[in-house]
A = this chain, B = another copy of it.
Amino acid sequence: MIRASLVIIGDEILSGRTEDKNLSYLAKWLGKLGIDICEVRIVLDVERDIINAVNNLRKKYDYVFTTGGIGPTHDDITTDSIAKAFGVEARVDVNALEKMKDFLNGKELTEPLLKMLKIPEGGELIYSPATKAPGYKIGNVFVMAGIPKIMQGMLEGMYDYLEKGDVVHSKSLDIMVGESFFAEDLALIQNKFKNVSVGSYPFSRDGLYGATIVIRSTQESDLASCESLVKDLIAKL
């Protein structure tokens, strides 16, 4: 099992102004590589908070991903914070500078543009087709933009760096009664399969309660046997 975590950096997510769209996309993309997101922290644009989250998580997990705070404005402090977390300086990267100059083709290279070309010493650039301002990898930490389109473009650049694990297969089955009517039978099914994780996720639709039963496993034969028992349970109810 390869275990990862995500640090979402940004006041706007915590204030409720913006709903994060990156976790769901990243989790599904990593899931296909056999990498599971096991923890997420959402933190303010505050240096100490970013440093604490990154330093804590990079010891606990195989990989840490971050989104947000690598733009050109005064409230973009991710790169300086990551550099401090690793105890290194953030500097304008020579290759990133060349690429930006080519792109600008004689237009002015302003201070805000330069700021986006800084990365912590020892970092390796990761580009998105959507921008000339790179993300980067340092140690087991991958630093990405917060705008979903740019973040998604950076994933391809990370692919080669990531170790791949056993892919988790899953099946989802809806059941249109409240959870209390099948909780005991479902627990019996879970107990039969050590290699399958059986989850029940309740919902309400049009005033009726139901649940989605999600079964997940790296072992396809166990998953099929488990699915058959869940289907029997649904048919019984």
Q: Which residues of A contact B (CB under 8 A)?
A: 10-21, 23-28, 31, 36-45, 49, 71-75, 110-113, 115-116, 130, 146-147, 149-150, 170, 172, 179-181, 183-184, 186-187, 190, 197-204, 211, 214, 216
Contact = CB atoms under 8 A, between A and B. Distances in A.
B31 A24 contact: no
A57 B182 CA distance: 34
Q: Is the interface of A mostly helix, strand, loop or mixed?
A: mixed
Contact of A41 (B27, B41, B187): B41
* 3 A-B pairs with least C-beta separation: A16-B27, A112-B183, A112-B180
Contacts of A39: 14, 41-44, 49
Given A179-B71, A180-B110, A187-B74, A27 B40 contact: no
Contact of A38 (B12, B14, B149, B200): B14
A191 to B, nearest CB: 8
Contact of A201 (B18, B183, B204, B216): B18
